[in-house]
Amino acid sequence: MAPHTTDWTLTNSQGLDIIGTTDHPDTDPTACLVLLHGFKGYKDYGFIPVLASALSSAGILVHRINFSTSGMTNDVETFARPDLFALDTWNRQVEDVRCTFGAIQSGEIEGHGLPLFLAGHSRGGGTALLTAGRTPQPKLSGLITINSVDACNRLTKEAQLDLIDAGSSITESARTGQILKIHSAWLQEQLDAPDAHDVLSLCTTLKCPTLILHGSDDQAVDIEAGHNISKALRNNLHIIARANHVLNTANPAPKGVNHSPQLREVIELIGSFVNANQGK
């Protein structure tokens, strides 16, 4: 059987849909990896499907998901559900990862019994760290971050008060030109439960192997975040030389061409990490 993909949908405990794509190896998979996108991202954005396809060619079953409040569907041209984007919070994203893990364990989607890995890019890296830090089960064989944030909230005190008072804020999508709303619930849950949103503190509780990757030329998330995560995890930071926030990869990624050296390096590092930690 040649490598192929299948699409699926899960409904989380709040009745919202997680839209996923699975990249299947051409042989029996040796591990299962759940791949998380960043802010305003989606499962088919830029380097993400390229990474998933390459890892599946190396024998890894990869589930890449659209968070239920990403605002994205399988229509990659637009945020088809800006109403859902407005509802996005860290807790909702953690819930989506837990729901995906549960579907793997129950057999609703493939991967039951395989070593389980979690990887996230940018804000998705923060979600991966929050999920693993809050949830001891299921046992992870490894966790990977790519250009991850190291904090849930970098708003000034004044900006936080403004958001709570206004009830929402707006952000523009450079990709689609849409003006998107963010409800103040995103911030309020952090104010209500700061310990559950302390990324670096939760990092210190992790027991599984970790791989921290950060581009030297990332202008969206400063490399200091990678150093902070590395210090909290007491693990080395792998700096990807001359890599920007999206690993020097266009969106959509061109097909049938050589991919950036930075993306190729990340593919190799993650593949080697998964292979080395499948029995842990």
Can you give the pLDDT at residue 256?
75
Structural domains in the chain?
4-153+194-276 (3.40.50.1820)
Rounded mean pLDDT, 107-111: 97
Across 95-106, average pLDDT: 97
pLDDT top residue among 1 and 211? 211
Report the share of the chain in percent with pLDDT over 90.
94
Contact of 251 with 45, CB cutoff 8 Å: yes
Q: Which band of pLDDT confidence, cut at 50, 70 and 90, is reported for residue 136?
A: confident
Mean pLDDT score of the chain: 96
Residue-level length of the chain: 280
C-alpha to C-alpha distance for 159 and 184, rounded to whole angstroms: 11
The residues with which 212 forms a beta bridge, in sequence order, are: 145, 237
pLDDT score at 254: 87
Amino acid 2: pLDDT: 55
Concatenating the DSSP letter of every residue in 224-243 gives: HHHHHHHHHHTS-EEEETT-
Q: Are 191 and 92 in contact (CB under 8 A)?
A: no
Instruction: Give residue-wise pLDDT tens across range 234-260.
Output: 999 999 999 999 999 999 998 877 899
Tokens representing residue 278 in the block: 């499948």
How far apart, in whole angstroms, are the C-alpha atoms of residue 160 and residue 215? 29
Q: What pLDDT is attached to residue 135?
A: 81
pLDDT of residue 224: 98
Residues with Cβ within 8 Å of residue 224, at least 6 apart in sequence:
150
pLDDT at residue 71 above 90?
Answer: yes
Q: What is the pTM of this model?
A: 0.97
Alpha-carbon span 72 to 67, nearest angstrom: 8
CA quadruple 238, 132, 18, 108: dihedral positive or negative? positive
Average pLDDT over residues 154-166: 96
Which pLDDT score is estimated for 3? 66
